[in-house]
Amino acid sequence: MAQGNLQGNSFTPGCPWVEIEGTFNCRDFGGYQCGPNLSTRTRDRMLYRSGHLEGLTLSGLQKMRELSISTIIDLRNLGEAKALYSKDKPDNENLNGFKIIRFPLDQKGLSIQHCSAKYEKYLKIGSTAVAQEYFDMLLEGHQTIRDILLLLRDNPSDVFLIHCSLGKDRTGIIFAILFSLAGVAHEAIASEYSLSEAALESLLPDIAQVVKASAPPGLTSTEALRIARGVITTTKDAMMLTLEKLEETFGSTFRYVSECCGLCLEDINQIQQNLTLESK
């Protein structure tokens, strides 16, 4: 897939976009009001999200260094890059100097056909199907989420970049948990999640091409583009339903990471402290 080119800035409150040449859908965790009295905000310049890094340019790598990114958390399954992207080089060839940690969030096998079928389902059923998939991932991937949370607990001075293939679904789930733990309102979390759709718009032709190439004969270009549209869709409703389902089941995100991920009160308090700053 070709890489999109998003224009953005280094951190400015209310403007989360960051441009890293050769990746896309990249933004900062920081600047969102949180806490019971909205007296704190999420910490800036310590946690970023993006799509895959296979197309990073030298300029993009330099930008990552300027942002002081030290640790890359890759949520993809082993071999996913080879299945999805026509790159011959190893996906970490240019990432010497960065610590790369693979925490696959979805343990299911991956194929273009499986992905196409999943997004067809999303198109037919809508946000409830997306929310159920996300919720299932939260349950099945609880150990991965625990590992990520403990990494953030133990390394408050590190700067992290979390990514999957498009920086939308798995990355969106992780960021939703982190935002919720920090005390960000559901509406704001869902709005942040929904930003990915516009960010991925430029990839539509490439996604459609991959879908069509892997589909049974007879799939039209129009149908492939329709499925591709489903791939990039990130509605606020889908994330709101996910967070509501999480609260219906566990009572709160706090209780989810406690009961399902096995974190104690001291762990959670330290993570919350690492993720937030007093508002100025």
Task: Read off the pLDDT of residues 152-208 as tens digits, 9 standing for 90 and up.
Answer: 999 999 999 999 999 999 999 999 999 999 999 999 999 999 999 999 999 999 999
Task: Read off the pLDDT of residues 121-131 as tens digits, 9 standing for 90 and up.
Answer: 777 888 999 99
Phi, psi of 85 (to 5 degrees): -125, 140
pLDDT band for position 148 (50/70/90)? very high
pLDDT band for position 18 (50/70/90)? very high
Beta-ladder partners of 27: 17, 49
Task: Read off the pLDDT of residues 218-243 as tens digits, 9 standing for 90 and up.
Answer: 889 998 898 899 899 999 999 999 99
Could you tell me if 131 and 242 are in contact, meaning their C-beta atoms sit under 8 angstroms apart? yes
Of 67-81, 109-123, 130-144, 245-259, least confident by mean pLDDT is 109-123
Total H helices, total E strands in the chain: 12, 8
Two structure tokens written together for 213: 């190439």
Residue of 210 and 10 predicted with greater confidence: 210
Give yes or no for residue 262 having a pLDDT over 70. Answer: yes
State the DSSP string of 157-222. Answer: T--EEEE-SSSSSHHHHHHHHHHHHHT--HHHHHHHHHHHHHHHGGGHHHHHHHHHHHSPTT--HH
Which pLDDT score is estimated for 125?
Answer: 82
pTM of the model: 0.90
Give yes or no for residue 109 having a pLDDT over 60. Answer: no
Beta-ladder partners of 42: 276
State the DSSP string of 251-266. Answer: SSHHHHHHHTT---HH
Give yes or no for residue 93 having a pLDDT over 70. Answer: no
Which pLDDT score is estimated for 47?
Answer: 97
Which pLDDT score is estimated for 250?
Answer: 98
Of 49-58, 166-175, 206-215, least confident by mean pLDDT is 206-215
Of the chain, the percentage scoring pLDDT greater than 90 comes to 68
Could you tell me if 178 and 79 are in contact, meaning their C-beta atoms sit under 8 angstroms apart? no
Average pLDDT score over the chain:
87
Q: Which of 12, 86, 17, 21 is nearest to 48 (CA)?
A: 17
Q: Which domains does the chain have, with CATH numbers?
A: 27-278 (3.90.190.10)
Of the chain, the percentage scoring pLDDT greater than 70 comes to 86
pLDDT band for position 49 (50/70/90)? very high
Residue of 278 and 106 predicted with greater confidence: 278
